[in-house]
Amino acid sequence: MSFEAFGQPLLTFPDAEKSPLSIRAKALVFVDPRSRQLREELEQLAPRSVCVLIRGETGSGKELLARHIHRASDRGGLFVSVNCGAISPTYADAELFGYAAGSYSGAASSRAGWFGSANGGTLYLDEIGDLPLPIQIKLLSALENHEVTRVGAHQPSPVDVRLVAATSIDLAQAVAAGKFHERLYHYLSEGQLELPALRERVGDILSLAEYFLGIYSQRLDLPVPLISEAAQQVLEAHSWPGNTRELENVIHFALLVSTGDEILPEHLNLPEAAPSLQQIERQLKHILANGSAAEQAALNQLLKNTALL
């Protein structure tokens, strides 16, 4: 089995080997129908200047989509990624918007902050719901007025920043609870992308597994094993609560513990799971479309007998 076996090559970034990003954040696949639809929506939004809000579960690849938006937008500035949950509440203002020389003890020079660093480019705010409300208000002002005032500065500085934000929670509920600024939410909602969980785009699982397997084999200088048919079925049957982050870890582990030229189900260290209704439906459709005449006749009779038709 090769990367091309699934019918579509992987999108990889040319600077992948030099990038400090995780392996997971260097490849994007659009094999599953839901992923292909997402790609169409993404490519419509990318050339526009509107903010984009990406919604999806933790580990599903929201930053990867944000980077793709930046690359497709032809913006010449940097892509600056910020985890809002890691911003210091005390220094959030200075971290985001910068500070002037002398603003703090030991601050001999000024700093542009994350917002200034993204001037001419894209600022990605992961888990934007974690920003303190006062900072949300300043963020909205910066976006609307295209200028920021650094801590300790007397005059605002013009900025040209395209904001892409991400959240794993329903921000509308946070607004209703008084935990997120309503006007900022509506400002972000001009462009929205819903990133389905990995279990909802089953068609991407094997392509991603092949990618992780190839990259880790190369990094560890190991032969690239095949993923056995039985292991493929286990991968597709798993619910992937950790999304692509969990899949990466599972494939990394399987590569290290496999002893032959194939990865088997026992190498995946995943619990056995009954096939989902979606998987059963897909298998039935496959038999009806591609099975032998005898198989199709037997299946049709079974469906009639169980009142499924």
Report residue 94's pLDDT band, with 50, 70 and 90 as the boundaries: confident
Instruction: Give the tens place of pLDDT for each residue, 115-125.
Output: 989 999 999 99
Instruction: Give the tens place of pLDDT for each residue, 111-170.
Output: 888 998 999 999 999 999 999 999 999 999 999 999 988 888 888 889 999 999 999 999
Q: Which residues contact 75 (CB under 8 A, 6 or more apart)?
A: 120, 121, 122, 162
Collapse the DSSP code of 227 into the 3-class scheme (helix H, G, I; strand E, B; otherwise coil) and give the result: strand
Degrees to nearest 5, angle at CA 86 with 84 and 87:
70
Q: Are 145 and 104 in contact (CB under 8 A)?
A: no
Instruction: Give the tens place of pLDDT for each residue, 179-192.
Output: 999 999 999 988 99
Cα four-point dihedral sign 290, 295, 301, 305: negative
**Does pLDDT of 88 surpass 90?**
no
Mean pLDDT of all residues belonging to the chain: 84
Mean pLDDT of 239-260: 93
Phi, psi (deg, nearest 5) at residue 236: -75, -25
Instruction: Give the tens place of pLDDT for each residue, 53-87.
Output: 999 999 899 999 999 999 999 899 999 999 999 98
Mean pLDDT of 196-210: 94
Residue ranges with strand state E in 109-222? 122-126, 147-148, 157-158, 162-167, 192-194
| Residues 30, 5: Cα–Cα separation, whole Å | 14
Report residue 173's pLDDT band, with 50, 70 and 90 as the boundaries: very high
Using CA atoms, how far residue 155 sits from 95, 194, 274, in Å, is 18, 38, 63
Rounded to 10 degrees, the C-alpha dihedral 269/270/275/281 comes to: -90
Q: Are 219 and 260 in contact (CB under 8 A)?
A: no
Mean pLDDT of 33-41: 93
The pLDDT of residue 132: 92
Report residue 16's pLDDT band, with 50, 70 and 90 as the boundaries: very low
CATH superfamily membership of 33-197: P-loop containing nucleotide triphosphate hydrolases (3.40.50.300)
Complete DSSP assignment for 104-118? STT--S-B-HHHHHT
**Does pLDDT of 308 surpass 50?**
no
Helix axes 205-219, 229-237, angle to 10 degrees: 120
Sequence letter at residue 131 = L
The pLDDT of residue 306: 61
- Maximum alpha-carbon separation in the chain: 83
